Structures are given as structure tokens and as C-alpha cells.
Amino acid sequence: MGDRIHPAPPQSDVQLVQGNHLLLDRDCPSYIYTESLDGRVMFFRPWHGRMLAGTTETPFDGDPDSIRPTEQEIRRMLGTCNHFFPHSPCTEADILESYCGLRVLPKAGGSAFAASRKMQIITASDPAPYMAVYGGKLTTYRRESEKVLHILARLLPGHRISDTRHIRLQAGASSSRSRTC
Ligand SMILES: Cc1cc2nc3c(=O)[nH]c(=O)nc-3n(C[C@H](O)[C@H](O)[C@H](O)COP(=O)(O)OP(=O)(O)OC[C@H]3O[C@@H](n4cnc5c(N)ncnc54)[C@H](O)[C@@H]3O)c2cc1C
């Protein structure tokens, strides 16, 4: 988006990291949060009566509209699944659905797994006030929104920030302390 603005605003150097999910034709009575065979976070959870497995960390540099689960991701995920559930091994024929998303992470040396999951905010004041938000997490949306509003309040003086810290989240909303994928 920033490259459509003139003069060009400062930009953060980000990497896109694909995370894949498989809906498997298996029962899953509980949530299992563990590590895949290569040490990454992996979960198995009930989803519409079947088992949802996630996720992967595959660096991506193509067209975001074209993301698809890779063969290697599927092989690794099924391998991890069969490691933990050897009594009922899954093959590709047991995949009911698959989908993936792209994490927006700061570009850093080393593995994507080690890259920070924190939201990044870039601001500029010249020639006009500018703010860009990269990445972030669902579970911390409230704290992250608050940071954004404090910056906006400096850019747009005269506005009061509503304090929502003591307003209850809706039932079922996630805790901001959960571990991340
Ligand atoms: C693989 C993966 C794993 C993750 N794991 C976790 C986790 O464990 N914990 C956690 O807290 N967070 C996690 N996240 C991050 C979390 O998914 C995001 O923080 C969250 O989805 C952001 O919500 P959002 O509504 O702001 O944006 P999004 O969910 O991205 O929704 C934006 C919507 O706007 C639409 N849109 C975009 N551009 C346009 C346009 N020009 N016109 C119309 N519509 C448009 C998009 O299609 C999309 O539906 C993960 C993300 C990925 C990719």
C-alpha cells in the first residue's frame, strides 16, 4: 500500500510467512497443543465435528492471492498427526479441507519461528501525518488498538480516548495471554 503514496512514506521491512491448516476426517474430542516433529507449535482441535490441525511456518514471496498448502507442508503435518495418533493414521484422502493465511512478520535473520509476533507501527509527520500498522495478533487486539489510538490522538489533537479497559469482552473472546501460532 505504501508504494501507492507519493512521496513514499517510511516502510517496515516485513516477511510473509504462510501458515497452513488441515481439516481431517477424524474425531477430536479435545484440544491438543503440542510441537510438530520439527519443533514448531502445532495444535489439533475440534472443528465442526472433525479435527482441525495447524499450522506451518513457510516463508512466502509470491502473490498473496495465490497461496496454497504446499506438498511439503501437507506431508509434514500428516507426519506429525500420525506421530501423535498412530492408531488411526491419516493420508491425503482424509483431508476434507485445507486453508492457509499469511503472517506479516518483521524481516529478521534466522527462522521465521523466531521472528517477533508483535504489531509494528510506523509513523511520519512530514509532509502529512502518516501511520501504518503491520502484523499483530487477534488475542492482543485490544492492547494494540489502544496503542494506535494514543498515536492518533497525538496526530489529531482535541480528541478524547474512550477507556474500554473495564468493559467486559464478549463471551468466547480470546484471552490476551494465550500462546501464539
Ligand atoms: C497462520 C496464522 C496464524 C495465526 N495465529 C494466531 C494466533 O495463534 N493467535 C493470534 O492472536 N493471532 C494469530 N494470527 C493473527 C490473526 O489471524 C490476525 O491478527 C487477525 O486475523 C487480524 O484480524 P483483522 O480482522 O484485523 O484482519 P483480517 O482477519 O486479515 O481481516 C481483514 C479482512 O479484510 C478483507 N480485506 C482486505 N483488504 C480489503 C479491501 N481492499 N476491500 C475489502 N476487504 C478487504 C480481507 O479479505 C479480510 O477478510 C495468525 C495469523 C495467521 C496468518
Q: Mapping DSSP to helix (H, G, I), strand (E, B) and coil, where does residue 143 land?
A: helix
Same domain, residue pair 97 and 136: no
Q: Is the CB of 143 under 6 A from ligand 1?
A: no
Same domain, residue pair 68 and 131: no
Same domain, residue pair 28 and 99: yes
User: Which residues have C-beta within 8 Å of that of residue 158, sequence separation ≥ 6?
Assistant: none
Which cell goes with 16?
A: 510473509
State the Cα–Cα distance between residues 153 and 128, nearest whole angstrom. Answer: 15
Pocket test for ligand 1, best of 137, 140, 141 (most atoms within 8 A of CB): 137
CA of 17 to the centre of ligand 1 (A): 13
Last residue of a domain, one of 76, 108, 140: 108
User: Can you tell me which atom of ligand 1 is nearest the CA of 18?
Assistant: 1
State the Cα–Cα distance between residues 107 and 97, nearest whole angstrom. Answer: 30
Query: Does residue 173 belong to any structural domain of this protein?
Result: no
Query: Does residue 55 belong to any structural domain of this protein?
Result: yes
pTM, entire model: 0.84
Same domain, residue pair 28 and 94: yes
Structural domain tally of the chain? 2
Same domain, residue pair 68 and 145: no
Render pLDDT for 118-160 as a digit per residue (tens, 0 to 9).
899 999 888 888 899 999 899 888 889 889 998 888 877 787 7
> Closest Cα to atom 6, ligand 1: which residue?
181
Same domain, residue pair 18 and 103: yes
48 torsion bin: left (phi>0), alpha (psi -120 to 50), beta (else): left
Same domain, residue pair 21 and 61: yes
Query: Does residue 22 belong to any structural domain of this protein?
Result: yes
Lowest mean pLDDT among 20-29, 93-102, 123-132: 123-132
